Amino acid sequence: MWWWRKRQDFKAEIEAHLQLEADELHSEGLSSAEAQAAAQRVFGNRTSAEERFYESSHWMFGQHFVRDLRFAARMLVKDAKFSVLGVLALGIGIGVSTGIFALLGPMFQPHGSNVRSIEEVRNPASYVGLDRGRFRNFSFPEYRYFQDHSSALEEISAESAPYNVVLNAISEGGDAEQAVAAFESAGSMSVLGMQPALGRSFSKEEEQPGAPLVAILSNQFWRRRFGGDAGVLGKTIVLNAHVVRIVGVADPKFHADDASAIFLPLGLQPLVTGQGDWLRDSQTKWLMASARLRRGVSMTQAQAETYVLGAGFDGNGNPGTAQSTEDRVMVSPGGGDLQTALMAGAAKTVINVIVAMILMIACSNLANLLLARAAIRQREIGVRLSLGASRSRLVCQLLTESLLLSMGGGAVGLVFSVWLIRAISWLSPALVNLPSGAEVHLGQGALLYALVLSLATGFAFGLGPALAATKTNVARALHADGLSGTPSTPSHKMWSPRNLLVVAPLSVSLMLLIGATGLARALQNARTEPKFDASRVIGVTFRLKAQGYDESKSLQFQNTLRQRITTIPGVVSVALASGFPLPWLPPFGRCALSIDGSEISAGAAVCHAVSAGYFETLALPIVRGRAFSPSDRAGSEPAAIVNQELARTYWPGQEPIGKRIRGGDTFFEVVGVAANVQDAHGHFSFLLLPTIYVPAAQGNLLSRSSDSGGDRAASYQL
């Protein structure tokens, strides 16, 4: 093919031509030396012919590119101030973009407790989540009611939130350990289209009270603790002092993204948790429900049916009264966590847009610099145009310069992004939300992102100035005007690109500023840091009831424990409480209350029985009234401290001190208001619940769920 024709070949042809011509001239009577000279003369400029041949070959592009690159590098080095400024400006833009891009992944990784990724569901089309009320949860009778009455939904299944259990040593000589368990209905796995990897799933009978003591191991736990041994079926483990038989191993994808180790049938809840029988309790909403749409049933139909069914259930199986909107049962496609996923997706988009804006500011700065430079170089460009350089060649050259600049910016940006990631992970680890020890790395994706970003910005923001610069009036550029460095045609138009380049970054900056202010306000309202000083607090959990301690033995243990811990050097204070201050596991530690005649169901409030010194130990400020004193003992007037959230919700604008709250049959008088304790887990859907604290000594007065002799968390401060 012609384009493979070598230069040598062309040279040889010209050589042959000269020979032939000389031969002919010789035969016409010239001497051979004269003939040679004449042939050369007639041919004319040999080099020019060769050049023209050379230029017609396809290799020009590459050749030009290399030359342009060299030239661009020279020009950039020559104007070091400009180059450094441009590279830095772009570096910051690209660095921020790339850093945030790399962070976005782990930031939105759902590794919470009850976050189920949609990918987990094999056939997402018909899978729906059921949410009821503010806490999206169902009571057991409610779940059974829907299961019995729904015709639009099938395979309705339910599971509890993760629940910590104590596991006796699995292997001989090992230690007891704490493990995460969850109560599951019979269809929990099959509704997701999953099968047990070994053995069986739970039966319907095992959902009933008095279920046999059986368990299914999570696939991860099975591999980790039993080495993937198929002989595990039929073996027993001791869980909260109950001997439980293993009947199955779950699908590898079942609860793959959380720490759940053991699954128990719903029917074992009363026995295992020791916090009351929630199977017969329609007030305790402890189950998350999901289902499949029956074939041919649309989402709307299913929603309509659950509205009706939800209204028909008031907890006792009787037709319900008017149903508040908040209490409606919502059917959401892909499971309830779709909402969380959508929220995270929206947040991601917002962040991306913000980052794009920052990049745009950096880019417009670069474009401005390039434009200014082009104006200065007007004369150079004019000279080259008049010497015959084509406009496309010049544009190519200027573009090469801006690309080189943007690649430099990209390289600097990568360094910046690494720093940015370190800074952010160091400043607010909760935001990055990484398991400890793990680090964010710039992966291949981020590198590619930076590369594409650099190329795109270099191209997009170099092209305009390059085109503008080469639109030079040669005569004027070479004239005295051109010397002054002013543009040959000063633009007075309002919407000229030059003005836009000033206006756009300014407006974008303004937008960002306003957005940032709004965000800061929003963050102030939803601070994710705990409001108590957790840095020097150590928490220890004892599951005494689960270990078989009775009431008197528990009290004795607690007293001894307290005394012993106090004697440890460095311990400042010790407190005992029925639960930890961060109540993010629904609904354990919750109780039903009654305030001014309005009932708060068990899922909607948290109750903690706390010992003296609890608030001091956690440095949780009492913002109003008083803390508990030794005089709040059994027999004295029942006292309670509520959190700000409860006061705000139930007594807006009123003085909470002196109000009365009924828990069980006892009226507690509010003596103080404690600051809200907020979730430090960085979860998107954390809940700030109304909380009531009662003195441990009076804790028995709360008839439900706060079992004074039961589980105690001790916190001590170093």
Partner 1 sequence: MATQDRNRIALLQGTLDLLILRTLIFGQQHGQGIARAIQRQSEDVLLVDHGTLYPALQRLEQKGWIKAEWGTSTNNRRARFYTLTRSGRKQLTRETSEWRKLTLAIGRIVGPET
For partner 1, the binding residues (CB under 8 A) are 2-3, 9-10, 12-14, 16-17, 19-21, 23-24, 38, 42-46, 48-49, 52-53, 56
State the minimum distance, in angstroms, from the CB of residue 38 to partner 1: 8
- Nearest CA to 3 out of 49, 51, 56 is that of 56
Which residue is listed with tokens 């811990």? 565
The enclosing H or E element of 595 equals: strand 593-595
State the minimum distance, in angstroms, from the CB of residue 14 to partner 1: 6
Tell me: cis bond preceding 587? Omega within 30 of 0 counts. yes
Query: How many other β-carbons are positioned within 10 Å of the β-carbon of residue 465?
Result: 27
Joined together, the tokens standing for residue 445 give 């994706």
What single-letter DSSP state applies at residue 635?
Answer: T
State the minimum distance, in angstroms, from the CB of residue 85 to partner 1: 45
CA distance 254 to 164: 18
State the minimum distance, in angstroms, from the CB of residue 60 to partner 1: 13
State the minimum distance, in angstroms, from the CB of residue 54 to partner 1: 10
Q: Which is nearer to partner 1, 43 or 459 (CB)?
A: 43
State the minimum distance, in angstroms, from the CB of residue 11 to partner 1: 10
State the minimum distance, in angstroms, from the CB of residue 509 to partner 1: 53
- Residues of 204-237 as b/e, b for ≥16 C-beta within 10 angstroms? eebbeeebebbbbbbbbbbeebbeeeeebeeeeb
- Nearest CA to 283 out of 132, 411, 64, 418 is that of 132
Joined together, the tokens standing for residue 185 give 């209905």
CA distance 6 to 4: 6
Q: Which is nearer to partner 1, 29 or 319 (CB)?
A: 29
Q: Which is nearer to partner 1, 52 or 67 (CB)?
A: 52
Q: Which is nearer to partner 1, 34 or 529 (CB)?
A: 34
Q: Which is nearer to partner 1, 54 or 459 (CB)?
A: 54
CA distance 594 to 586: 19
Q: Which is nearer to partner 1, 49 or 396 (CB)?
A: 49
Q: Which is nearer to partner 1, 234 or 388 (CB)?
A: 388
State the minimum distance, in angstroms, from the CB of residue 67 to partner 1: 22
Q: Which is nearer to partner 1, 2 or 495 (CB)?
A: 2
State the minimum distance, in angstroms, from the CB of residue 48 to partner 1: 6
CA distance 165 to 240: 6
Joined together, the tokens standing for residue 648 give 């705000």
Q: Which is nearer to partner 1, 38 or 383 (CB)?
A: 38
Region of 696 on the Ramachandran plot (φ > 0 left; ψ -120 to 50 alpha; else beta): alpha
Please name every residue paired with 164 in a beta bridge, in sequence order, or none if there are none: 180
Q: Which is nearer to partner 1, 390 or 636 (CB)?
A: 390
CA distance 452 to 97: 12
CA distance 188 to 291: 9
Q: Which is nearer to partner 1, 52 or 536 (CB)?
A: 52
Hey, which bits of 627-665 come out as E strands?
639-643, 660-663
Say if strands 593-595 and 660-663 run parallel, antiparallel, or are unpaired. antiparallel
Tell me: cis bond preceding 209? Omega within 30 of 0 counts. no
State the minimum distance, in angstroms, from the CB of residue 36 to partner 1: 14
Q: Which is nearer to partner 1, 35 or 272 (CB)?
A: 35
Count how many residues are written for the chain.
718
State the minimum distance, in angstroms, from the CB of residue 64 to partner 1: 19
Q: Which is nearer to partner 1, 14 or 299 (CB)?
A: 14
Q: Which is nearer to partner 1, 21 or 380 (CB)?
A: 21
CA distance 486 to 366: 19
CA distance 417 to 700: 56
State the minimum distance, in angstroms, from the CB of residue 388 to partner 1: 17
Please name every residue paired with 127 in a beta bridge, in sequence order, or none if there are none: 292
Query: What are the CA-CA distances from residue 424 to residues 99, 432, 520 (Å)?
Result: 10, 8, 16
Angle of CA points 380, 383, 389, to nearest 5°: 105
DSSP readout, 291-352? EEEPTT--HHHHHHHHHHHHHT--SSSSPP----GGGPEEEEET-THHHHHHHHHHHHHHHH
Which residue is listed with tokens 């409610």? 142
Query: What are the CA-CA distances from residue 596 to residues 146, 149, 701 (Å)?
Result: 32, 35, 18
Which residue is listed with tokens 């020097």? 536
CA distance 100 to 95: 8
Query: What are the CA-CA distances from residue 237 to residues 163, 188, 234, 262 (Å)?
Result: 17, 22, 10, 10
State the minimum distance, in angstroms, from the CB of residue 394 to partner 1: 24
Q: Which is nearer to partner 1, 45 or 535 (CB)?
A: 45
Query: What are the CA-CA distances from residue 641 to residues 67, 624, 676 (Å)?
Result: 78, 9, 12
State the minimum distance, in angstroms, from the CB of residue 44 to partner 1: 4
Q: 3-state DSSP call for residue 95?
A: helix
Q: 3-state DSSP call for residue 64?
A: helix
Q: Which is nearer to partner 1, 10 or 108 (CB)?
A: 10
